[in-house]
Structure formats: C-alpha cells, structure tokens
Amino acid sequence: MSHFDIPAGFRFAGLASGIKKSGKLDLALICSDQPAATAGVFTQNKVYAAPLQVTKPRIAGGVCQAVLINSGNANACTGEAGLQVAQQTSQLVAKQLNIDEELVALASTGVIGVQLPIIPFEQNMDKLVDALAEDRALVVAEAIMTTDAYSKVASARFSDGEKAYNILGLAKGAGMIHPNMATMLGFVLTDAAIDAQFLDSALRQAVKKSFNSITVDGDTSTNDTVLLLANGAAGGKKIEPGSEAAQAFVQHLERVLLDLAKMIVRDGEGATKLVEIKVQGAESEDAARTAAKSVATSSLVKTAFFGEDANWGRIISAVGYSGIDVDQNKIDIFFNQVAVTKDGLSTGPELEAEATEVLKLPEFTVTVELNQGDTCSSYYTSDLGYEYIKINADYRT
C-alpha cells in the first residue's frame, strides 16, 4: 500500500463468503477506530435497495464508524425479507465490533431482485472483523467489484500548514453508469477533523464535478452510494470552512473523486476509450453542462467513437437537441486540437482525416465552442461497442 496515502485510524478487511458463485471476494468491511463525521450521497432512482433504506437515515445523523459492503447481490427489490437481512447484517457487524448499530452503514452491489442470503454473513462476520488491518484497503477495493475489470483506488495528501492529512478513495463501477450517480459505490476516508456539515457541502460539490459528470450507458442504479468519513485520527486542529486548509481539502477531495470517476468510465463495460466532452463559450454553467451531457450520453456519438469515425454531425446534433439555446452558425468543434467544424460548417476532409487519427487514441477530448458566453463544463464518457452488449446480455447467467 506504499503508493497510496492511507488515513490514520482506519482498518480494512475483505474475504470470499460465498455470495458470488465464482468464489471471488465478495464481503468487505471498513472500520474507523473511533466514530467519524460522515456525509453521503445516494442514488436518485425512486427504486432503491434495502441497504440504502437502512443507511440513509443513519448517515443523516452525520456520524458513522463501520461500513459493511457486499458484492454479487444488490439486495434490491427484495421486499420486507431483504430489509430484514440488511438489518440483521448491520446487527452482526455492530455486535462483533461492540459498537452502536446506528454507527453501521451498509452498501450492496450486484444482481437486482434476488434475495440476499444471511448465512454468508453469519458464518464470516467474526473472520471479517478479525482480518481488519490498516494495510488491506486494496482487498476492500477488490471485494466490492462486480463487472469491473480492475479495482479503483485514489489518494491524496494535504496540509493545514502544521499537520499533514491523507484522503483515500475506493470505488467500484463499470456499467449502469449515469448520473445521478450510477451503479457505483464510493468510500472516501480522511484522518482530518472536519464536521459533518462541511463534509456534506464539500462532498456534494466534488460529486457534481466527478461522479455526476460521467456516463457509460445511461442507466442509473438502485444502489448508488458515496460515503465520506473524517475521523480526525491524524490529530491537529479542526478544519473550518473558509480556511486555507478547507480549500486544500476540497481541492484534493475533488481530485480523488475525479480520478476515481475517470477510472470508472475507462473501465466501462467493453469500453476502449475515455472521452472528455468539454462545452465552452456557454451563457451559463448549467447550459454548458446540459449540452455536454447531451453529447456524452448520445448512443450515436458513443458508437462513432467506438468506430473511430470523426462524425461531428452527431455531436452538433446532440448539442442542438440538448434543450439549450444555441446558434448553429457559431459552433466550433475540435477533436483534441483538430478543428473539424468552424461556424457550424465542415473544415474539410484533410482536417477530418487528422481528427480520425485522434479518435484512435485511448483518451482524447472533444471540445464544443458555442461562442455565446464565457462559461464551460465537462462530462466524461466512454465509447459503446460490441463487448458492452455481450457482457450485459449474459450478466445474470
């Protein structure tokens, strides 16, 4: 774990409990040595899973000490039985750690509509707690994966001028990725002392620029959860809103979340490209964001990226139907630095050929210049190809 900055006072564990038929890791626990100030953001899907029904009211209290996560089963659309299992797993954790049950948060990910068995939790909770260690964050990152090709971890260090603090982010997600958040779980930990109210505003700001600015396939899950815990274990003064230390915290939090968000898009099911859609010259940030989202979520645009076709017509069309006011005679479009459209017209076959070379890169930026104002916004998307269909056609089998 030497290449990641691990916050003090947190321990981690993961194991294979049998929830996944494959025998891979499927149960994880994150534990703070002391109750931590906590903020959370959750799916806006009106159908949401049992673990969220348990966790959301607890996180509203602004404090948490342990997070239990399982993969392989979403415990969503499982009715009263699913809710009872969620509550039982919470009780098992609390008892084993000897903490108040209200300090336990739950998260699940996997197949919807299948009852989550309680037996794997009953048989393995003591082993999970016994395995807790400061150097096992990567095990948690692996245990929370479903169709992910790789685990997702990011970290940062910041200072208040006297004391250094760490931020660690763990996430999973590859498909059903679309705001408002999407089949993704994220757990962000810091050893700085920060109150829950400031954590909440910082998290919402950071999520808007990261997890709520990505798309893979336009689906929003029933289980999306991002939790931010600050346990103050590094010592030092409380970080107050408006201070230089608070600015440093927010800046590094945003970077960690954006790093994780980009990993999720890069790992989009079957994805071969990570594309930043940047809309600039807009009349407002909302307008820029709306247009960028429209381009990023267009299946025609995404399939063109997969086919390495510099089809700027699909892009300008997506801007046009986004709902914002635009003047098509002012729109310029670039693939990296290559201008394919000027004043709404083609710049010719030579530049389009150059743009096609850009599309062969694993990462590139599409810039749409509206020439109507001075604000901009970015969205991150992947291409859409055959492998996505294959993975999701066979997901339950």
Q: Could you tell me if residue 5 is inside a domain?
A: no
Cα 145 to chain centroid, rounded: 13
Number of H helices, E strands in the chain: 11, 15
User: Within 13 Å of residue 13, how many CA atoms lie on the same side as its CB?
Assistant: 21
Over range 329-337, report the average pLDDT.
97
For the question of whether the overall pTM of this predicted structure is more than 0.75, the answer is: yes
Q: What are the DSSP calls for 259-274, one per residue? A: HHHHHHHHTSTT---E
Q: How confident is the model over 252-306, as pLDDT tens digits?
A: 999 999 899 888 877 766 678 889 999 999 999 999 999 999 999 898 998 899 9
Q: Are both 254 and 284 inside the same structural domain?
A: no
> How far from 221 is each of 42, 186, 397, CA to CA, in Å?
10, 14, 19
Torsion-angle region of residue 357: left (phi > 0), alpha (psi -120 to 50) or beta? alpha
pLDDT at 92: 98
Known binding residues for substrate: 146, 172, 183, 269, 392, 397
Closest to 227 (Cα-Cα) out of 101, 87, 60, 90:
60
Structural domain span for residue 290: 274-393
pLDDT at 270: 63
**One of 89, 109, 183, 297 is an active-site residue; which one?**
183
Phi, psi of 202 (to 5 degrees): -65, -40
What's the structural domain count of the chain? 2
183 is catalytic: yes
Q: Could you tell me if residue 4 is inside a domain?
A: no
Q: Could you tell me if residue 20 is inside a domain?
A: yes
Q: Could you tell me if residue 120 is inside a domain?
A: yes
Q: Which two tokens stand for residue 209?
A: 């620029």
Q: Are both 257 and 312 inside the same structural domain?
A: no
